[in-house]
Structure 1
Amino acid sequence: MNHPESVLEAAAECFTTLLRDHPQHAVALGKMGVVQAELGLAAAARASLEKAAELDPQAALVFSNLGHLLFRSGDSATAAEHLQRAVELDPDLDIAWSNLGDVQRDSGRWDEAAICYRRALALAPDDGGVLGNLVYALMTLCRFAELEPALGRLAELAAAAQAAGRPSPIDPFLACFLELPMADFQRIASDRARAIAVTTTASTTEAGSDEGRPALSPRRAERLRIGYASGQFAGHATGHLVQDMFRHHNRGRFEIIGYGLKPSDGSELRRRIVGDMDIFHDLSGHSDRQAADTMRRDRLDVLVDLDGFVSGNRNRVFALRGASLQVSYLGFPGTTGAAYMDYLIADRWLVPSEHEAFLSEAPVLLPGSYQVNSHRALGLGPVPPRAELGLPEGFVFCCFNVSRKIDAATLGLWLGLLERLPEAALWLLVDSPETLENLRREAAARGLDGERLIAAPRLDPEAHLARCQAADLFLDTLVCNAHTTASDALWAGVPVLTCPGASFAARVGASLVAAAGLDELIVATPSEYEETALELARNPGRLLNLRQRLQAGRETCALFDTAGLVGHLEAAFAEMVARQDRGEPPGRIVI
């Protein structure tokens, strides 16, 4: 559903009245459950849908909606049972196939997810959302031959939507993995942000413009009150990056309040983050309006969204304006396109001056890199022997990016290096056995031994950092760069070779490498990328020098200076507030 909260609340009242007189009305219960789910009332929605399914065990749509709700609540196993039941009851129910694909994807069964999305598309061929999910699955599986026509069809649907004045069917998060003009990326994000804004009960003025800000009363006490909101305060890349961040805030000048937007995973990382906040609110059981109201009651000076458009985001909370100054940072690599987001924290590599016109937010340009890191808190264990890691003794290229970042052009460069260096191997983090098989098939098509592509299993952060040291050179992907994985490699003393593109996501590698002091590994073209990698593989003295520089600068370089970066953020927050107090709109800030 895609309706304003006021419409949903009115619908809920109607169904409540109907069910008061007809409590066994299965259709009303099923619809009531959908409305409750959209309002964020997960427990009530589950009760309604389960009762509807009990009353009408042949209602395929009810089982589909119940499965989708459970999936969103984190119970993928039970969700899969209900969704399987839905497609058995009605094999032509496209939404059930799509929902089942989401569950399979979340469970790492990418091949099965692609099958489900294809079944959904066969029933609803113009559904751009499902097609985007299929594209995402094909990227993860590295099925390049199938991906090309799917991308072509997605571009057709996007062009048709634009011509008709409809929102783009492309999800902003998916857009980070596509080679798009900057204007197209901004339009995709803006389309989604506007759709989010109109589904809130806030007016367009309250949801985004300067006119809405005076209604909110920031605290403006001796200490500025800063809120950080995320659903990733857990074992997620964002959680790992920020886990040591909050304790570095100057408590004499800033009060830090955290907002957990998804349920706790019970991890030590989560406990540490919560413990480092002055106040922490678990808003996972709150509706979007309740969450925004909690933030408003806290009278924040600045609210930082650490998620953007990542999976499981709750952007309607920010559309409802939890604070008069709202900031996008870290989790989403690009503009949110949102009128309700005032600032985007970046750096000069990510947002060169000629790119600022494609931002909907005012840019905040930090010195060094924008990315906070917590690697000093993790340390670095001894490197395991290569034999234990399944690696040869020859030169080892590595890339630990998720496999959806491996585009065909990047893979072509990597395989070209293996052709020119017969003793070299390529060490990759792959998301499924099918992905590894597909990559090895691409290598075999070029006459290479597919076994030279070696899979790295997922490990806990400490073990992963230790094994990183066994690689010789990290090769970045081109369309969507390494983020956390590049910082991991640099902390482990492994040089990272990157080639920046046009988009924010394609320039993160350069931001990180520059902050680590290895500017010479930022190259301008794919051909220079290939020749630099080749030269480093053939010149062990130069490579050793790079590794020694990384190791010597690990404790002093800007990239791993957590306290220094937090100080830059504090300066930015103070300037945002000062501008607002002077009656000025959000504007470019350079720290």
Structure 2
Amino acid sequence: MEGMDHQMQLSFQKVMQAFERGNFNEAESILDKILQADFNNAGAVFKLAISYANANRLSEALASFNLLAVYQKDDAKIYYNVGLIHSMQGDHQLALENYDLALKINPDDVDILINKGSTCIDAKNYVLALQVLEYATQLRPDIAEAWSNKGIALNNLNLYQESLNAYNEAIRLNPRYHEAWSNKSAPLIKLNRIKESLEACEIALSIKPNYPDGWLNKGAALHQLKRYEEAITCFDRGLLYKTEFYLALSNKANSLDELKRFEESIACYEQAISLNPNIDWIYGDLLHMKMKIFSLKNIKKEIEVIKAAILSNRKVIAPFELLSLVDDPFLQKRASEIFVKWSYPRNTSLGLIAKHAWKEKIHIAYFSADFKNHPVALLTAQLYEIHDRSQFEIYAFSLVKATDEMRNRLLGIFDHFIDVENQSDIEIARLARALDIDIAVDLTGFTQDSRTGIFAYRAAPIQVNWLGYPGTMGADYMDYIIADKTLIL
């Protein structure tokens, strides 16, 4: 090392040789003696630690930094780098502890704040991540990475428009920020702006064609557009650039399911699980897929695993898939509660519903993806016809637009028939409030094309689950379920 006398150079060579042999105790002992002999050598030890970190020899770097921290307790750079290494190793708690030590010394260091926010995101502590990144962007509003990470936190807190705004600011600051363009697609999907989501992914991939997450997100947008073959092609491209890309495999399995290529879907689910056994909901998806082809080998054992996971509050199976596997109401309720907590938590973005002025008729709105040739419509059409129009005004919120004879019949039954397929959950909830809907009846529940997020925003003072999903939704914002003794024991 430059500027170092011959004897000190020999000592550092011995340190590196000890590390090479895997003898960390010897290496640390020599480093300790170097620092005791002359504290001015701390800079050389720091450079050694950095060089090991850059070479991805994280254990050696960590050992060097930790020893250095004994001598330089007031150096934020040491704790910052230790935090980075723990973060790279996946030890989020230790990373956060060291970032906090660094911030005690330099509380306004934006680099430390950004990395702490990123680690909070990795640890799924999105509330803390947002707090940290808010402060970082206040201190330095010109750093694109801080805005992009803020977008991730906001998206995971179901604050989709705010997330989109953060990504747009990151892109304004750095128009070629491919990660921000790609990640922007997530809140756009949640806002039901699917074509814009696809366009964002295409821009990301035009900047960096070999970006695996860009192909994953493009595939997700194409899946939402029901362009399943193209989605599968995108997932395969992601796997080309990242061979152990378990999220691409699980998403590919979903698209294969839609194409009724069940055996291929099962193979993708199983491969994804072999790479990461902790993917949300995937065990339930796999078991449900096996049921579709009547693959019952080990079915009892697999159901017991699912039951145990539900009792442990794990995100193992969606409620609809569980209905066909167990008839235990307690487990069904618990599974719904877990699913709603993580997928559709109560969202207060629209605030409390204002009290309605007195009106002559009660406004009842039925929300369904099945106002078409479907059992739900067949079972309910006459009911809509016989509502007492002197007391009730009847609305249909059609979540999926159809063109068939049942839809045509329903158009003539409802007082108001509103197609909302292309609107986001928050837009639909806002519309229901604007129309002074008194009672919102969800006819879809957790079945195909459901939009539970509408009710998470509180579309009406009274919200009811009925018919389409024969079970509890486990949501505290659903006030009632209409059922009989067959449905509820």
Measured at CA, do residues 350 and 33 of structure 1 come closer, stay the same or move farther in structure 2, by a change above 3 Å?
Answer: closer
Query: What is the count of residue pairs matched by the alignment?
Result: 336
Candidates 301, 304, 308, aligned match of 2:441: 304
Candidates 19, 26, 29, aligned match of 2:171: 19
Measured at CA, do residues 197 and 115 of structure 1 come closer, stay the same or move farther in structure 2, by a change above 3 Å?
Answer: closer
1:98 aligns with 2:245: no
SS of residue matched to 1:27 = helix
- The CA deviation at 1:49 is 1.2
Counterpart for residue 384 of structure 2:
246
Following the alignment from structure 1 to structure 2, what is the Cα–Cα distance between the partners of residues 105 and 235?
Answer: 23
Counterpart for residue 194 of structure 1:
341
Counterpart for residue 286 of structure 1:
423
Measured at CA, do residues 19 and 122 of structure 1 come closer, stay the same or move farther in structure 2, by a change above 3 Å?
Answer: same
Following the alignment from structure 1 to structure 2, what is the Cα–Cα distance between the partners of residues 188 and 294?
Answer: 30
Alignment of structure 1 residues 311-350 onto 2, 5 Å: 311-350=448-487
Following the alignment from structure 2 to structure 1, what is the Cα–Cα distance between the partners of residues 316 and 335?
Answer: 8
Residue-by-residue CA offset, 1:427-475 (whole Å, 9 max, x unaligned): xxxxxxxxxxxxxxxxxxxxxxxxxxxxxxxxxxxxxxxxxxxxxxxxx
Following the alignment from structure 1 to structure 2, what is the Cα–Cα distance between the partners of residues 196 and 316?
Answer: 8
Q: Does structure 1 conserve the Cα–Cα contact (< 8 Å) formed by 2:215 and 2:237? A: yes
Candidates 200, 208, 212, aligned match of 1:60: 212
Alignment of structure 1 residues 374-453 onto 2, 5 Å: none
Measured at CA, do residues 78 and 330 of structure 1 come closer, stay the same or move farther in structure 2, by a change above 3 Å?
Answer: same
- The CA deviation at 1:241 is 3.1
Following the alignment from structure 2 to structure 1, what is the Cα–Cα distance between the partners of residues 453 and 230?
Answer: 27
Residue-by-residue CA offset, 1:373-407 (whole Å, 9 max, x unaligned): xxxxxxxxxxxxxxxxxxxxxxxxxxxxxxxxxxx
Counterpart for residue 236 of structure 2:
84
Measured at CA, do residues 151 and 91 of structure 1 come closer, stay the same or move farther in structure 2, by a change above 3 Å?
Answer: farther
Measured at CA, do residues 95 and 243 of structure 1 come closer, stay the same or move farther in structure 2, by a change above 3 Å?
Answer: farther
- The CA deviation at 1:287 is 1.6
Between 304-313 and 78-87, report the one with greater CA deviation.
78-87
Following the alignment from structure 2 to structure 1, what is the Cα–Cα distance between the partners of residues 213 and 406?
Answer: 38
Following the alignment from structure 1 to structure 2, what is the Cα–Cα distance between the partners of residues 248 and 219?
Answer: 26
Following the alignment from structure 2 to structure 1, what is the Cα–Cα distance between the partners of residues 357 and 377?
Answer: 28
1:273 aligns with 2:425: no
TM-score by length of 1: 0.53
Following the alignment from structure 1 to structure 2, what is the Cα–Cα distance between the partners of residues 273 and 83?
Answer: 40
Following the alignment from structure 2 to structure 1, what is the Cα–Cα distance between the partners of residues 354 and 260?
Answer: 43
Q: Does structure 2 conserve the Cα–Cα contact (< 8 Å) formed by 1:244 and 1:273? A: no
Richer in helix (by share): 2
Q: Does structure 1 conserve the Cα–Cα contact (< 8 Å) formed by 2:310 and 2:334? A: no
Candidates 230, 236, 246, aligned match of 2:368: 230
2:421 aligned partner, one-letter code: S
- The CA deviation at 1:193 is 2.5
- The CA deviation at 1:5 is 3.2
Residue-by-residue CA offset, 1:347-372 (whole Å, 9 max, x unaligned): 23332xxx4xxxxxxxxxxxxxxxxx
Counterpart for residue 223 of structure 2:
71
Measured at CA, do residues 219 and 41 of structure 1 come closer, stay the same or move farther in structure 2, by a change above 3 Å?
Answer: farther
Counterpart for residue 307 of structure 2:
155
Q: Does structure 1 conserve the Cα–Cα contact (< 8 Å) formed by 2:466 and 2:482? A: yes
- Identity level (%): 25
Residue-by-residue CA offset, 1:492-513 (whole Å, 9 max, x unaligned): xxxxxxxxxxxxxxxxxxxxxx
SS of residue matched to 1:284 = coil
Measured at CA, do residues 155 and 187 of structure 1 come closer, stay the same or move farther in structure 2, by a change above 3 Å?
Answer: closer
- The CA deviation at 1:330 is 0.6
Q: Does structure 2 conserve the Cα–Cα contact (< 8 Å) formed by 1:29 and 1:49? A: yes
Counterpart for residue 113 of structure 2:
none
1:176 aligns with 2:323: yes
SS of residue matched to 1:145 = coil
Counterpart for residue 355 of structure 2:
217
Q: Does structure 1 conserve the Cα–Cα contact (< 8 Å) formed by 2:219 and 2:234? A: yes
1:137 aligns with 2:285: no
RMSD over aligned Cα, in angstroms?
2.4
Following the alignment from structure 1 to structure 2, what is the Cα–Cα distance between the partners of residues 234 and 62?
Answer: 36
- The CA deviation at 1:143 is 0.8
Following the alignment from structure 2 to structure 1, what is the Cα–Cα distance between the partners of residues 290 and 305?
Answer: 14
Measured at CA, do residues 101 and 304 of structure 1 come closer, stay the same or move farther in structure 2, by a change above 3 Å?
Answer: same
Counterpart for residue 190 of structure 2:
38
Measured at CA, do residues 195 and 274 of structure 1 come closer, stay the same or move farther in structure 2, by a change above 3 Å?
Answer: farther
Measured at CA, do residues 96 and 343 of structure 1 come closer, stay the same or move farther in structure 2, by a change above 3 Å?
Answer: same
SS of residue matched to 1:5 = coil
- The CA deviation at 1:317 is 0.7
Following the alignment from structure 2 to structure 1, what is the Cα–Cα distance between the partners of residues 163 and 322?
Answer: 34
- The CA deviation at 1:229 is 0.5
Q: Does structure 2 conserve the Cα–Cα contact (< 8 Å) formed by 1:218 and 1:323? A: no
Q: Does structure 2 conserve the Cα–Cα contact (< 8 Å) formed by 1:5 and 1:39? A: no
1:295 aligns with 2:438: no
Q: Does structure 2 conserve the Cα–Cα contact (< 8 Å) formed by 1:218 and 1:300? A: no
SS of residue matched to 1:328 = strand
- The CA deviation at 1:219 is 6.0
Residue-by-residue CA offset, 1:475-524 (whole Å, 9 max, x unaligned): xxxxxxxxxxxxxxxxxxxxxxxxxxxxxxxxxxxxxxxxxxxxxxxxxx
Q: Does structure 2 conserve the Cα–Cα contact (< 8 Å) formed by 1:157 and 1:169? A: yes
SS of residue matched to 2:297 = helix
Q: Does structure 2 conserve the Cα–Cα contact (< 8 Å) formed by 1:218 and 1:324? A: no
Structure 1 residue runs without a partner (length 5+): 207-211, 356-591
Measured at CA, do residues 252 and 241 of structure 1 come closer, stay the same or move farther in structure 2, by a change above 3 Å?
Answer: same
Residue-by-residue CA offset, 1:83-108 (whole Å, 9 max, x unaligned): 23323333311111111111111122
SS of residue matched to 1:226 = strand
- The CA deviation at 1:184 is 2.0
SS of residue matched to 1:273 = helix
- The CA deviation at 1:190 is 1.9
- The CA deviation at 1:202 is 4.3
> Which has the larger Rg?
2
